[in-house]
């Protein structure tokens, strides 16, 4: 019973202490066991008094004390379990799914506000990236170009492997005729997906607009090679290729 009571103190300690103080739980458990079982000791000779046990004479009192300890540990521990990252992550996933459904079946403006209202703890960088990525997609859909760029940049803060964020930032930069910035974003995108025809087409367009026609021709040929047979990109690739070839011949 003494051992159960001491372990109960240990369990309550685990249930109550925050994560950075959990190291104190074993110390509290040892202290509780020592005081329940071997409280009569003197200096360094305490080990000789292991046989002299100091416990309440009413064993029912100790049993009640132990029962209350364990009930408290289970109740608090159960509550904290519901607050674990797993439970929080599942709730965030549910909120994200609801907001995505609003975007596809309802008013995009409502969906945008729903995503913005989701509070994502810093312990979930993937969810933060997902939140800002979706805000960027919806903002582009609503033609809120600056808001979209800010959202995709935030998404990359939390997930550098988000190809779509890199690619969409490049598209937005091209739209503003910021070709050098677009080229930097495309470098990040192609580092992740080297065979993306759309990205190579944008690279060719950037080179074309900055007068680097030979590099543009190489890029547009790469886009042509990467595009699937039924890709709708074949026509814009063909058109840009003719423009680049004309400029190359004029510059020679």
DSSP at 198: H
State pLDDT tens for residues 85-120. 555 778 888 999 999 999 989 899 999 999 999 999
User: Are residues 77 and 8 located together in one domain of the fold?
Assistant: yes
Same domain, 73 and 145: no
pLDDT, residue 67, reads: 64
Owning domain of residue 16:
2-82
Q: What percent of the chain has pLDDT over 70?
A: 65
Domain count, the chain: 3
Q: Is 66 in the same domain as 96? A: no
Residues 203, 155: one domain? no
| Residue-by-residue DSSP string for 233-250 | THHHHHHHHHHHHHHHHH
Are 78 and 134 part of one and the same domain? no
Assess whether 151 and 173 both reside in one domain.
no
pTM over 0.85: no
Q: Rg for the chain (alpha carbons), in Å? A: 32
**CATH code of the domain containing 133:** 1.25.40
Q: Are residues 190 and 112 in the same domain?
A: no
Both 133 and 170 in one domain: the answer is no
Q: Are 185 and 127 found together in one domain?
A: no
Q: Compute the C-alpha angle 76/78/84, nearest 5°.
A: 105
Whether residue 102 sits in one domain with residue 136? yes
Q: Do 151 and 192 share a domain, yes or no?
A: no
CATH code of the domain in which 245 resides: 1.25.40.10
Question: What is the rounded CA–CA span in Å between residue 97 and residue 89?
Answer: 12
Please indicate, yes or no, whether residues 122 and 170 belong to a single structural domain of this protein. no
pLDDT tens readout for residues 242-251:
999 998 877 7
Q: How far apart are CA 53 and CA 13, in angstroms?
A: 24
Q: CA–CA separation, 248 vs 244, rounded Å?
A: 6
pLDDT digits (tens, 9 = 90+) for 4-52: 555 555 555 555 555 444 444 455 555 555 555 444 444 444 444 444 4
What integer pLDDT is reported at residue 23 of this predicted model?
46
């Amino acid at each position: 019973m003494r051992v159960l009571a001491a372990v109960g103190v240990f369990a309550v300690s685990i249930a109550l202490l925050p994560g950075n103080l959990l190291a104190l739980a074993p110390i509290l458990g040892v202290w509780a066991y020592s005081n329940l079982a071997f409280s009569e000791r003197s200096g360094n000779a305490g080990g000789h008094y292991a046989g002299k046990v100091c416990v309440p004479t009413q064993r029912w009192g100790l049993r009640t004390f132990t029962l209350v300890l364990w009930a408290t540990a289970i109740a608090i521990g159960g509550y904290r379990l519901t607050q674990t990252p797993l439970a929080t992550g599942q709730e965030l996933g549910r909120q994200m799914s609801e907001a995505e459904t609003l975007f596809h079946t309802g008013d995009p403006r409502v969906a945008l506000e729903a995503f913005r209202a989701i509070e994502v703890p810093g312990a979930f960088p993937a969810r933060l990236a997902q939140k800002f990525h979706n805000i960027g997609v919806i903002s582009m859909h609503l033609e809120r170009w600056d808001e979209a760029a800010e959202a995709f940049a935030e998404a990359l803060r939390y997930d550098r492997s988000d190809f779509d964020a890199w690619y969409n930032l490049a598209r937005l930069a091209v739209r503003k005729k910021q070709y050098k910035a677009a080229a930097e974003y495309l470098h990040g995108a192609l580092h992740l997906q080297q065979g993306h025809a759309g990205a190579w087409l944008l690279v060719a367009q950037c080179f074309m607009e900055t007068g680097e026609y030979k590099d543009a021709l190489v890029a547009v040929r790469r886009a042509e090679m990467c595009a699937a047979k039924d890709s709708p990109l074949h026509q814009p690739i063909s058109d840009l290729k003719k423009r680049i070839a004309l400029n190359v011949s004029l510059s020679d």
